[in-house]
A and B are shown apart, each in its own frame.
Chain A
Amino acid sequence: MTIEDRVRRVLDEAVADEPSLRGAPLDHVLRRRRRRPVMVGTVAMALVLAAVVAVAAVRGSGTRPLPSTVSTEGWRAYTDVAGNLRFRYPPDWRVKAYQARSGRGPTYMTLVPPGIAVPAMPPAAFQVSWQAGASFWIGEDWIGGTTSRGRLPDGRPYLRTVGDPVTDRNRFASWSIDWGRPCLTGAARCRPHSVRFQVRAADGRLWDRYRAVAETIPTTVEQLRPTAPTVGDRGLPACRADQWRLVWVEEWGVTNGYQGTVIQGGVRYRQGPRCHLRLTLRMAVEGEGGRALPVRGNPATTTVEGDLPVDGIRRLSGSWVIDGAMMWRFVWDEWCNRGLPQATLRVTADGATLAIPGMDPAPDERPPRTPGPKPCEDRGRPSVVAGWPS
């Protein structure tokens, strides 16, 4: 039996013993439909509010702190010694810790505003959760939301990602904050850390009511102990060209429906003593003979910086680990425009070159009126390439 046949059989058998329903899904579905006119109004109002927030965010973007009109006077302080953080929160909000019954894994912490029930199991109808961890602060938030970049009042950079108020039933905003490297002694295996806050509401009404206060909480976070810079130890010798190589993780991510794509990869350590590496990567969209194609922003650039070997991209169980200071990313919008899908993407950095083959647009063999993602199409919009986050 081939592996394919075996997979088919196991998948079939996995769903053969189906448990009975827990709820009444049809009732739920029909109720949702009846509420639709109200939802349309709510969504329209949320869109207007989102536009106002977006304008404010654009004005406040860049290196300035996010403006907040919420006073934090009289707020309580929450301290997490292990996570090396302290933040403040309104005195009438409740802190709830959840621990896995197995006793393993991190404690899951939430803050719940007054008037919202604290459930036996998360999530509450509105909550703020947070977690300090060893993942790099720039992750893959280009998926599933709109991301903006800013700095906290103490200068720490963060990425803020908000969900789509139209397509997402639950509203959310996540804050991923650069938390430096926890070791100050120049330890060889000290990777950058991050702190992540997530604000989550079950619906737009709760979102509108609590969001402003909730999103002030991440702006108050501070470190208990100083940390080493995320960029690594600039006192180390500069890495030689034979100590590293560029890698592409062999996947194309998709954004903006089917009309945008993300190319991401990393820098892999090869050999030699500890060293420091700051690389400016350039991605060119090229046609035949290396001719630059007419794409706005072409070639795009981005920068990574860290120490090798500790920050080098790693493989685990045959796959690249998508994390770390040495990950790079480019976003290419409207890549389906005429003449572009067959392009070669050439990533270069300090003499190293990586050629990424042109993507394979799914053939447009779909019969008329068949649903699903739109085929790769030229929508007459400008094709743009840029480093991410820009």
Chain B
Amino acid sequence: MAGDDREFLDFFADEFWSLRRIGFLLTGDWGEAEELAQEAMARTFAAWPRVRGYDRPAAFARKVLLNRHRSLLRRAVVEARHLLASRPQERHEPDFSGDDLILWQALRRLPARQRTAIVLRYYLDLSEAEVARQLGVPAGTVKSLVHRGLHRLRERLGATYADERLTSNTEVGP
């Protein structure tokens, strides 16, 4: 095995699971997430002689995953809906209850671009500029997507959340 292949194996071991988790947060389906992560890794491996020189090869793989997810959404939405509706017993869902369940379901129902922006912003803690680069959109669009996404989530949480937000807004620093 060549040196760069061994290097890729280390990269795979470090990053595959992270990609799969991002895929799950985007799709809500671990099977699709695994395929997305696998595809992203395959393309990264194909370009590894070039990508290994990057400062952040993981960002390349993540970008591939996001592009793949976006193109699948656009052209296979009918198939995807069908598959999701047809395999309820195979789904591995997070064990949420109460408001967390409402929030999780609301996240799942966000428009794909809003959900993606929120996952990158709050799961990966990327800056708005970095999210913009990953999505290939202007930073203003990221602000808009995140703002609208959070607005919808607040709406879904309703009165309970309104109280919490008030508490948060009235906090006084040390």
- List the interface of chain A (C-beta within 8 A of B): 1-4, 6-19, 21-23, 25-26, 28-30, 32-33, 36, 98, 100-102, 104-105, 108, 121-123, 129, 131, 140, 143-145, 161, 163, 167-169, 172, 174, 198, 200, 250-252, 254, 257-258, 317-319, 359-363, 365-367, 369-373, 375-376
Could you say which of A36, A169, A317, A376 contacts B152, with CB atoms under 8 Å apart? A317
Which B residues touch A372, using CB under 8 A? 59-60, 63, 133-134
Report whether B53 and A369 are in contact in the complex, using a CB–CB cutoff of 8 Å. Answer: yes
Which B residues touch A367, using CB under 8 A? 55
Complex Cα distance, B24 from A241, in Å, reads 48
Report whether B154 and A3 are in contact in the complex, using a CB–CB cutoff of 8 Å. Answer: yes
- A-B interface, 5 closest residue pairs, ranked by CB to CB distance from nearest: A360-B140, A371-B60, A373-B136, A100-B85, A15-B21
Using a CB-CB cutoff of 8 Å, which residues 125-167 of chain B contact chain A? Answer: 125, 129, 132-141, 144-145, 148, 150-155, 157, 161, 164-165
Which B residues touch A169, using CB under 8 A? 39
Name B's interface SS.
Answer: helix
Which A residues touch B134, using CB under 8 A? 372-373
Report whether A100 and B82 are in contact in the complex, using a CB–CB cutoff of 8 Å. Answer: yes
Complex Cα distance, B163 from A294, in Å, reads 53
Report whether B85 and A104 are in contact in the complex, using a CB–CB cutoff of 8 Å. Answer: yes
Report whether A123 and B103 are in contact in the complex, using a CB–CB cutoff of 8 Å. Answer: no
Could you say which of B21, B38, B81, B153 contacts A7, with CB atoms under 8 Å apart? B153
Closest to B99 in A: A6
Which A residues touch B82, using CB under 8 A? 98, 100, 105, 108, 122
Report whether A29 and B86 are in contact in the complex, using a CB–CB cutoff of 8 Å. Answer: no
Q: Number of residue pairs across A and B with beta carbons under 8 Å?
A: 202
Which A residues touch B65, using CB under 8 A? none
Could you say which of A11, A33, A36, A174 contacts B119, with CB atoms under 8 Å apart? A11
Report whether B107 and A7 are in contact in the complex, using a CB–CB cutoff of 8 Å. Answer: yes
A-B contacts, 26 of them at CB < 8 A, read: A4-B122, A11-B122, A14-B25, A18-B30, A19-B92, A21-B34, A26-B41, A100-B82, A102-B85, A105-B81, A108-B82, A121-B83, A131-B78, A140-B74, A163-B75, A250-B144, A252-B141, A254-B137, A318-B155, A319-B111, A360-B141, A369-B54, A370-B55, A371-B63, A372-B63, A373-B136
Report whether A13 and B100 are in contact in the complex, using a CB–CB cutoff of 8 Å. Answer: yes
Report whether B94 and A17 are in contact in the complex, using a CB–CB cutoff of 8 Å. Answer: yes
Q: How far is the CB of B23 from chain A (nearest CB, A)?
A: 10
Name A's interface SS.
Answer: loop
Q: How far is the CB of A121 from chain B (nearest CB, A)?
A: 7
Report whether B42 and A29 are in contact in the complex, using a CB–CB cutoff of 8 Å. Answer: yes
Closest to B141 in A: A252
Report whether A371 and B122 are in contact in the complex, using a CB–CB cutoff of 8 Å. Answer: no
Which B residues touch A373, using CB under 8 A? 63, 133-136
Report whether B12 and A26 are in contact in the complex, using a CB–CB cutoff of 8 Å. Answer: yes
Complex Cα distance, B34 from A276, in Å, reads 50
Complex Cα distance, B24 from A17, in Å, reads 12
Report whether B133 and A362 are in contact in the complex, using a CB–CB cutoff of 8 Å. Answer: yes
Given contacts A318-B148, A318-B151, A319-B111, contact A123 B138 (CB under 8 A): no
Closest to B113 in A: A251
Closest to A23 in B: B34
Report whether A319 and B148 are in contact in the complex, using a CB–CB cutoff of 8 Å. Answer: yes
Report whether B129 and A365 are in contact in the complex, using a CB–CB cutoff of 8 Å. Answer: yes
Report whether B141 and A172 are in contact in the complex, using a CB–CB cutoff of 8 Å. Answer: no
Which A residues touch B17, using CB under 8 A? 18
Could you say which of B30, B38, B104 contacts A28, with CB atoms under 8 Å apart? B38
Is B7 located at the chain interface by the 8 A CB criterion?
no
Report whether B164 and A1 are in contact in the complex, using a CB–CB cutoff of 8 Å. Answer: yes
Closest to B150 in A: A3
Could you say which of B45, B71, B151 contacts A29, with CB atoms under 8 Å apart? B45
Complex Cα distance, B29 from A22, in Å, reads 12
Report whether A361 and B138 are in contact in the complex, using a CB–CB cutoff of 8 Å. Answer: yes
Given contacts A318-B155, A371-B59, contact A101 B86 (CB under 8 A): yes
Which A residues touch B129, using CB under 8 A? 362-363, 365
Highest count of chain A CB atoms <10 Å: which of B86, B144, B145, B168? B86
Q: How far is the CB of B106 from chain A (nearest CB, A)?
A: 10
Q: How far is the CB of A263 from chain B (nearest CB, A)?
A: 12
Complex Cα distance, B100 from A16, in Å, reads 14
Complex Cα distance, B165 from A102, in Å, reads 38
Given contacts A258-B136, A372-B133, contact A29 B41 (CB under 8 A): yes
Which B residues touch A105, using CB under 8 A? 81-82, 85
